[in-house]
Amino acid sequence: MAKTVAMLVLIMVAAMSGASADDCKPEQLAVCLPAIISGSAPTDACCSNLRAQQGCFCQYAKDPNYARYIGSPNARKALTTCGINIPNC
């Protein structure tokens, strides 16, 4: 639970600080937190948002606020389950 709250806070701080490019909106990945944190199956909404943010994955992977989530085994599992190629950054 604490990890989920921490991730949501990081997403909101990044969104408000303008840390992401105009089309990179990490807050849209909040719907994927259960899949990324616990390894549960990603929802359709999660897969849709992952597809929409696919071009931003390398940017997120380089950001210390998101790197551990984007590069996690559960995130890779979510990408694979959603049929999205794992980026090679």
CATH code, domain with 42:
1.10.110.10
| pLDDT reported for residue 21 | 56
Give me 80's structure tokens: 């694979």
Is 9 within the bounds of a domain?
yes
83 token code pair:
């049929």
pLDDT, tens digit only, all 89 positions of the chain:
545 444 443 444 444 344 345 699 999 999 999 999 999 999 999 999 999 999 999 999 999 999 999 889 999 999 999 999 998 98
Asked if the structure places residue 87 within a domain, the reply is no
Asked whether the beta carbons of 41 and 82 are under 8 A apart, the reply is: no
For residue 30, give its domain range: 2-16+24-81
Domain count, the chain: 1
In-domain check, residue 47: yes
Does 37 map to a domain?
yes
Residue 70 tokens read as 């984007």
Q: What is the pLDDT of residue 89?
A: 86
